[in-house]
Amino acid sequence: MPPESVSRTNNEGLSCPIELNRDVPHVTLAHGDGGRLTRQLVREHITNRLANVHLQSLDDAACLPQPVGPLAVTTDSFVVTPLFFPGGDIGSLAVYGTVNDLAVSGAHPCWLTLALILEEGLPLAVLDQVIASVASAARRSDVAIVAGDTKVVPRGAVDGLFINTTGIGVFHSPVPAGPKSLTPGDELIISGPVGQHGIAVMAARERLSFDPAPHSDSLPLVKPIRVLREQLGSRVKAMRDATRGGVAAVLHEWAEAARVTLAVEQATFPMPDELRGLSELLGVDPLYFAGEGVFLLAVEPGACEAALAILRCHPESKLAARVGEVQAQQRFPVTIRRALGTTQPLDEPTTALLPRIC
């Protein structure tokens, strides 16, 4: 592949929608017709790069060992633009987003399916780079891609590449009781800085020049969550990754489910100086922007310090902090104590501040 063909996928060459260069090998409609070209595409550009026994036979269904415990199943589709952004890409995002949904639900992720919708004209080098990222993210998350599907659609029908991943895991007892179990006195913890993914995608999409450029926090949360649950058990009452709608959306969902008020303090949210400066410069509140490597946690009264000690031992959650508490239901479902000392209601997000961030 000529260097100039690959450079367009680097951060400096971000393009939205993708510019389709006809001079490089690319996906054609014939790759989706089910014949020889389809087999070549699947074997040479997908299954060989994912490399596991489940995919080698190309059967219609994967044969999986019987799990010990109830199954957890989740699915998500990824349409992020641009496909590549500082700190990640659509491939790693598709893996981490799904394994994190399983982890915060109280399940250990085991297997993933991978469905690709490819636009006619997509450079094969882009597909190769995305699949390599999927493979790397799956290894890091200790999950196997066991089945998949590939479709090719005409030019203009999608924006380069869309991905759907379905995750299968096994629930391990005790499973968190969920937000309906929240009661006054419970404590709220955030595992790291908020809004990093949304701000990074926005900067990449709009080609905003910052030094250093904001990076997505996209990463797997499986390890810190597993240790947290192993050591605190049922003292962990609820967990949720703060993706679309950010922390603000999660807080409102929980407050409505439990019919309580969640009170948080702005100053306690971990916020690197560069992220705080970017938020102020762009005029956005990071509590409303998506993170892909951060989760909100509610624990029983008295369990906060133990939870923080566990989380801070893991690089994925080393900046974990207590950010608030559950109170009896008041006029507003979520309140925030701002830096100047005033307490205000925190509005619920009604529309996405930035669409297509995952």
**Whether residue 54 is found in the same domain as residue 185:** no
Q: Examine residue 195 and state whether it is found in any structural domain, yes or no.
A: yes
Report residue 330 as tokens.
């008041």
Instruction: Please report, for the domain that includes residue 109, its CATH number.
Output: 3.30.1330.10
Whether residue 229 is contained in a domain is answered as: yes
Query: Where does a domain end: 171, 201, 216?
Result: 171
Final residue in a domain of this structure, among 171, 198, 219: 171
With CA atoms as reference, report the closest residue to 162 among 91, 226, 216.
91
When divided into structural domains, the chain yields a total of: 2
Of 10-24, 177-191, 219-233, least confident by mean pLDDT is 10-24
pLDDT digits (tens, 9 = 90+) for 29-57: 999 988 999 999 999 999 999 988 888 77
- Residues 184, 91 share a domain: no
Could you give the CA distance from residue 87 to residue 16 in angstroms, rounded to a whole number? 17
pLDDT for residue 23: 65
Asked whether residue 163 falls in the same domain as residue 188, the answer is: no
Answer yes or no: do 191 and 328 share one domain: yes
Dmax (CA) of the chain:
67
pLDDT tier, 18 (very low <50, low <70, confident <90, very high otherwise): low
- Decide if 355 is inside a domain: no
Are the C-beta atoms of residues 325 and 186 closer than 8 Å to each other?
yes
How far is it, in rounded angstroms, from Cα 179 to Cα 182?
5
Rounded to an integer, the average pLDDT of 239-246 is 95
217 with 94, same domain: the answer is no
The whole-angstrom separation of Cα 101 and Cα 73 is 9
Is 63 inside a domain boundary? no
Name the residue range of residue 85's domain. Answer: 26-58+68-171
290 inside domain:
yes
Counting residues of the chain whose pLDDT is more than 90, the rounded percentage is: 79
Give the pLDDT of residue 179: 97
Rounded to an integer, what distance in angstroms lies between the CA atom of residue 108 and that of residue 175?
A: 11
The 10s digit of each residue's pLDDT in 122-166 is 999 999 999 999 999 999 999 999 999 999 999 999 999 999 999
| pLDDT score at 242 | 95
Question: Does residue 19 surpass a pLDDT of 90?
Answer: no
